[in-house]
Amino acid sequence: MKEGIVMEEERIKKTFLLVEPFLPEKVVSDFEHFIDESIEIRQMYHYNSQLNEMLRDSIRTLREKLKEAEQKLRNSEEKNFN
């Protein structure tokens, strides 16, 4: 998926370079700004996805540790009760 987006972006840039000489300077500037923002948004999305995955892993690990601690507490209470 990621490669497809990059390839599509490259194709758009190449096409734009063909018509660029015929466009007003403002349009060229706006397009370059648009591409820069697109790249930045894609990088932020990738970073956010990685962060979400790390948070899921942390939650999963903490949940497992909590279950282990609860089990140890139950075992300890059973030993003390008997």
Three-state SS sequence of the chain:
CHHHHHHHHHHHHHHHHHHHHHCCHHHHHHHHHHHHHHHHHHHHHHHHHHHHHHHHHHHHHHHHHHHHHHHHHHHHHHHHHC
pLDDT score at 41: 92
pLDDT score at 2: 60
pLDDT score at 1: 53
pLDDT score at 32: 87
- Residue ranges, the chain, pLDDT below 70: 1-6, 82
pLDDT score at 77: 85
Q: Using CB atoms within 10 A of its CB, is residue 42 exposed (0-12), middle (13-18) or buried (19+)?
A: middle
